Structure 1
């Protein structure tokens, strides 16, 4: 039935495509479809996208050589109103029949829906680009402007519309350009009326964007205007504006050289109907007033409280709610300093980051005590947010562990809890679900058999909270914050069941819009497994592998380990079987060397995944991101993270001369603490190719090496491969390690390489598509795993890097993107050498991924 439906759907889609495939069906007899733009410079073809970007008309978007969006547009009827009128409104017999069948109101709705659907097709598709002389002339003007702005002042441009004889109603436009000799910047002189501005210019002349001997470019002059504006406004010139800067360029009889004159006039001063000019001056901030609880309703009310701190004057319409130093530390505008745009911007940013005020308002007024008109008074109006805020959330989910789940949570935010702009937040969360896992208790018929509950507390300080001053290397303009958080959660009836306790002391600061830093001085996590006996119910692959060994003809084992189905009893039988092999007590005999090694591997994995973890880590993250908002198409992002764990505890245990356990590890509170070093490198780059085409790339590398008190990495700190945001030809945790073939339910390792390349393009309207190639794998390095197929021992093991490729659809809802990707196993390292390329490249072995937003 599904195949029949797919065939019917494919038939209708193919028919619709064939019907609309005449790209010129909507064109009049005297119209031509634009199929190509060609630019010739001095008779030679040009391929510079910057120049082609000046053209007003571009051919319709093509995919695999076909204008699919134009075909879709042609499905719409150009005269839908007249068609519906003739077919339904003017045909009284049909109209009467439909009204009797539907009712008059439903009949009108039907006609309206036909019109709306027709308009949707038009808006989603792409109208034919018809060659027009007016548009070609506009393109010529823009080409002339582009070449002029880049130094070719004598450029000549023409165009010709060339009909294509081999194709009806189609034409290309050929643009012919003769740039001639470009002009070069020669002398640069200045006419600056204000002595204050002239002095600032001379002191900072080395940073000028204008250089003698460089080909003229209007962009350089615009950048110099921006530079000077920022220079003056950040050095005390409060009332300066770009409009006061102009350039006079002399090109008459200069032998293709531009003699430039920079002109900065005095400030205009309007008094009545007369206009005069006043020299610009350096303005100084003489006083900073901060109104800590301003509201429009109390603008005329008397001030009842005030305080002074480091030259700042703070006022309150009610009793002051804040410590003076907490507010003044967020203000970068200092009494006695000169005016600066940077100080104002930093003050806005810092006050907003505190999350205790609404939009701050900063105003500058002349100081009435100053007769020279150079002193300014700064008034900062702050409107507090409510001290208490409540938040609630609710969600419904589905995963490979649960077929239905309900999550809920709530939070309470207390602002300015200690009057020092500190924020305290306490939150709780919980969920219940219905399990699909084999680990679910078959004797329990409850629908909701999975549950999780947790709570978190977080206290945030607007400063680096350390016993020494950090202002020298982390100044306050970097918006430093300290966060102390505690968390606890418990899971029941899911896997091994866990209790999780965490505590973090975190510092973060942002030196610029692009750069941010995060340091977790302490990142403590304690994971306690509550239901270790359920291990073989969760990790069924390991259990089934043990049963295959037990049922082998060569193996003789204690019958007490086996149930009536000739399978190991969970958990006693499986545990005793493994322990018997390890101890050599004679309960199991006849094992081959390979079978014995497999059992050892299963035992080591079980011990690692069921052991309680105590992680006492410190980590640092460096993030450089040039993306400024959600809609940026071209940006780069680099993240570096390094983490170490267990070093502090190792020093304590050695100083205290504590004894080791039977495995040779130190324990704290009965748990062997983890000790390792881990680092990650992540780089993302997006290139905007124009017309909604984007090339996106990502490279990731990570490694975690255990040492000292540990011979493996905790599961929560390991790497995994596969899934909708990684290698999409494999499901999450299915890929690797190495060429082992993903034997376990959750495959992880302590080294990872991943590379992704994705070409994104628009199909129709908000529907986009992409082709992608995903490369990568995980391996074990210098840890407890000895399986040759899973470990990375030399560069020859790079042949085990998996390659996935595929395509996907993405629908853009503006505030998020719904993504559907299909990944195909292009190179599968789990297969034998020589059998890895394209052996499973079909829909039967494809992996279907659904995700929110782009993978990188």
Structure 2
């Protein structure tokens, strides 16, 4: 114990010495008279401000000081050090240039600091937050060629709002403003805050835009502050229109004509083929209800614009319908550019024409993809895909996609005689930009709802074992409430699995293994599925969240009608095939926290359960849960972990079945950081497992019990991510820290870690190569 403490103290001493050395070494590069600027500090001298307000004010003020000192990591400035030790490059390339100007950071000196400018920043910001009597002084503290500037702020008392007046007059625009003054951000008793005043101006502008005032601007609003009408530190606010507000900004506009150019091209305009604006006489032959559609070649059905556009002739202009129409046109997926213009056509009656200038995308595309891949189960392979897309299949912005593919995966070491895998198939999808149903579906979302119809077939050939024919078909809907919330309902989702050429070798291997026999059993699965997705990860926030919940119900109504009960009677069949009955629910929750622009934390929890009933004693193999692999618990090879404490080493040599379960729990945590441009690193921990709901004699320990926490697998590792924008190549190296099929008490493996042992590395270091982030 004493020797370990000595080593620990030596390590601390060495680390401290290195920190001091590296820190001091930066100042030795300074010239005579130069001082390294280490930052500015704001000290607030006021006993009447609450601690919370004082901390918030101090943090905001220090964030506004310029320039920023050299960046620090654990108290050190390595970027500055690299700049100092690198020689001045002769060219704008090469190692020295990269080290000095890409990795390194130029020293920020005290001479670069304009203290008077920072003083004005502090005074102005304080006044904008209601501290009208702010006084600032500053002083410079220097030692060992380092300097810090200390700013002392005496803000005085903060002024509060005593009263808010919205000036009244007889104009139409003023009457409209008065209708929503009750929702003002300016409240009596609140502190004076210039940012809140700016938000109030934007609020008024948004309200007026919804009431037809197209040409209005927040700059037309003035908020006058008067601190002389009240005793004490109070201020009265008077909200009014500026005297020089343009006449157009005060007028309420309605829509006259709505004109659509669905094949708009800027080159055609230059050649005089299109005239914008158009006269009324030339418009009449293009009329469709209240819309004029200029499509001489009839490339698009007129109905799609009637559904997408929310402006009609005579409507009062409002910004919501303006943006809604543009977003729905974009979400049709058939237009590359969407442009909107409002042209004044009747200034006397305050009317303008709405023009929609739409440039179509390439209607058809053919793409050939060749992919190479590898996974942690020691398979390497390739896939060839041929995809054809038509974006206007029936001239109503319907998207039709057809694909054929072939793939193979070859065993490269690992389990002997695991055999190669070949896949080939085809699928088609028709996506219609509306809800096709016997009921009416109204959506005011910016996203066009879609009806999706899919058909597919795949042949899976696991050489020397079996072939499986997989047929699938679905019909359903996808709709988004807004940018954060999406729903997908497959009214019917059918899967038919039919085995072929099951070999005697496989029969002999699966003789006493029910799980292996179910892999090649005929399966008919049909029923509705529903998923709900919520995410705000696209927003520029420090903390973001993602959730997806999926519910899968198979054979429910059919089972009730037929009275199916596999425990009491022979399974009910359709076309000679027993149909599956189960309920499955899965939840995927993710949380992201951004530390800085170059570092973040990501986490994920997956929890799911599948319960068979009625006509089924077991969940179909294709619908069960799996774990392990590049997007799961990376310290275990794909689909080899679990269920429960089942030991896969007991499986008969020659075939390693994909391990599946009825219950899944998984947690992942990952720290991500950017090193240089496209080069990112990560450190991660994964934990979880799968379990069965019922005992399986061929897999002892697989059943879910109250002891499930002792059967959690844990792995950890590090990774490299090469982010080339259009492609993210990921390499994760992981090792198991806890193995659930080891003996109780010996499942943690810290004492077995031996990086110097080749045999240990071969069995425990798992390299995952993948595309994209794991979550």
The normalised TM-score by structure 2 is 0.83
Across the aligned residues of Structure 1 and Structure 2, the Cα RMSD in angstroms comes to: 3.6
The question of 1:314 aligning with 2:293 is answered yes
Give the Cα separation in 2 of the matches to 1:766 and 1:143: 38
Of the three residues 427, 447, 453, the one matched with 2:424 is: 453
Which residue of 1 is the match for residue 253 of structure 2?
A: 283
Instruction: Report the equivalent of 1:624.
Output: 534
The 5 Å alignment of 1:251-290 reads 251-252=227-228, 254-265=231-242, 268-269=245-246, 277=247, 280-290=250-260
Is contact 1:620-1:642 (8 Å) kept? yes
What displacement does 1:503 show? 0.8
The 3 A distance-change label for structure 1 pair 825 and 463 is same
Is 1:54 the counterpart of 2:23? The answer is no
Q: Select 1:642's aligned residue among 540, 551, 557.
A: 551
Structure 1 runs of 4+ with >6 Å offset: 16-21, 302-305, 437-442, 658-663
Aligned position for 1:513: 483
**Structure 2 residue 712 is the aligned partner of structure 1 residue 801:** yes
2:667–2:686: 8 Å Cα contact kept in structure 1?
Answer: yes
**CA–CA distance in structure 1, aligned partners of residues 519 and 328 of structure 2:** 45
Q: How does 1:728-743 map to 2 (within 5 A)?
A: 728-743=634-649
- Secondary structure of residue in 1 paired with 2:31: coil
How far the C-alpha of 1:483 sits from its partner, in A, is 1.0
Who is 2:370 aligned against?
394
Q: Is the 8 A contact 1:684 1:696 kept in 2?
A: yes
Does residue 1:162 correspond to 2:131, yes or no?
A: no
Change (3 A) 1:703 1:614: same
Determine the C-alpha separation between the residues in 2 that align with 1:163 and 1:742: 66
Deviation at 1:666, TM superposition (A): 1.9
Unaligned runs of 5+ in 2: 1-17, 275-281, 650-655, 756-760
8 Å CA contact 1:293, 1:317 repeated in 2: no
Shift of 1:850: 3.5
Count of equivalent residues? 724
Change (3 A) 1:832 1:313: same
Q: Which residue is 1:664 aligned to?
A: 570
Unaligned runs of 5+ in 1: 1-15, 82-111, 270-276, 535-569, 579-598
Distance 1:151 1:613, change over 3 A: farther
Once the two structures are superposed, the pairs formed by residues 555-594 of structure 1 within 5 Å of their partners are: 570-571=505-506, 573-574=508-509, 578=511
The 5 A counterparts of 1:674-689 are 674-689=580-595
- Residues 726-765 of structure 1 correspond to what in structure 2 (within 5 A)? 726-743=632-649, 745-765=657-677
Matched, 1:772 2:681: no
Q: CA deviation at 1:372?
A: 2.4
- Contact 1:348/1:360 (8 A) holds in 2: yes
**1:437 Cα deviation (Å)?**
7.4
The structural deviation recorded for 1:616 is: 0.8
Q: What secondary structure is seen at the aligned counterpart in 1 of 2:503?
A: helix
1:785–1:791: 8 Å Cα contact kept in structure 2?
no
Q: Hey, what's the Cα distance between the residues in 1 that align with 2:62 and 2:715?
A: 35
In structure 1, C-alpha distance between the alignment counterparts of 2:592 and 2:125, rounded to whole Å: 26
Structure-2 change in CA distance of 1:28 and 1:721 (3 Å): farther
Task: Find the aligned partners of 2:662 and 2:628 in 1 and give their Cα distance.
Answer: 15
SS of residue in 2 equivalent to 1:317: coil
Matched residue of 1:23: which SS?
A: helix
Q: What is the TM-score when the length of structure 1 is the normalising length? A: 0.76
Range that drifts further, 511-520 or 384-393? 384-393
Q: Which residue of 1 aligns with 2:625?
A: 719
CA gap of 1:497–1:146, structure 2 versus 1, over 3 A, is: farther
- Judged with a 3 Å threshold, the aligned counterparts in structure 2 of structure 1 residues 632 and 723 are, in CA distance, closer, same or farther, namely farther
Deviation of the 1:381 alpha carbon: 2.9
Q: Which moved more, 1:744-753 or 1:40-49?
A: 40-49
Q: Would the aligned equivalents of 1:826 and 1:839 in 2 still touch at CA under 8 Å?
A: no
d(CA) in 1 for partners of 2:461, 2:398: 35
Retained in 1: the 8 A contact 2:217–2:249?
A: no
Structure 1 counterpart of 2:452? 483
Match of 1:195? 171
**SS of match in other structure, 1:756:** strand
Match of 1:503 in 2: 473
Q: 1:741, CA displacement in angstroms?
A: 4.7
The reply on whether 1:792 has 2:704 as its aligned counterpart is yes
SS of the aligned residue for 2:664 comes to strand
Tell me how far apart the structure 2 counterparts of residues 123 and 462 of structure 1 sit (CA, whole Å): 51
After superposition, the Cα gap between the structure-2 partners of 1:700 and 1:306, relative to the gap in structure 1 and judged at 3 Å, is farther
Partner Cα separation in structure 1 for residue 304 and residue 401 of structure 2 = 19
Q: Quick one: structure 1 residues 383 and 128, their matched pair in 2 at CA, closer, same or farther if it must change by over 3 Å?
A: closer
Q: In the TM superposition, what is the alpha-carbon distance from 1:234 to its structure 2 partner?
A: 1.9
CA distance 1:811–1:358, shift in 2 (3 Å): closer
Aligned counterparts of 1:246 and 1:41: Cα–Cα separation in 2: 31
Q: Is the 8 A contact 2:566 2:614 kept in 1?
A: no
Q: What is the CA distance between 1:661 and its match in structure 2?
A: 11
1:260 Cα deviation after fit: 1.2
Deviation at 1:194, TM superposition (A): 7.2
Q: Does 1:241 align with 2:217?
A: yes
Q: Distance in 1 between matches of 2:731 and 2:700?
A: 36
Structure 1 distance, partners of 2:767, 2:461, is: 30
Q: CA deviation at 1:121?
A: 1.1
What whole-Å deviation, never above 9, does each CA across 1:124-166 have from its counterpart, x for those lacking one?
32315434255362554444444433333333444444334xx
C-alpha displacement of 1:61: 4.0
Q: Which residue of 1 aligns with 2:279?
A: none
Residue pairs, 1:197-216, within 5 angstroms: 197-216=173-192
2:613 alignment partner, one of 707, 725, 729: 707
Aligned to 1:466: 437
State the secondary structure of the residue aligned to 2:29: coil
SS at match of 1:122: helix
Matches of 1:122 and 1:852, distance apart in 2:
32
CA distance in structure 2 between the partners assigned to 1:440 and 1:722 by the alignment = 20
Q: Secondary structure at the match of 1:228?
A: helix
Counterparts of 1:659 and 1:702, CA distance in 2: 24
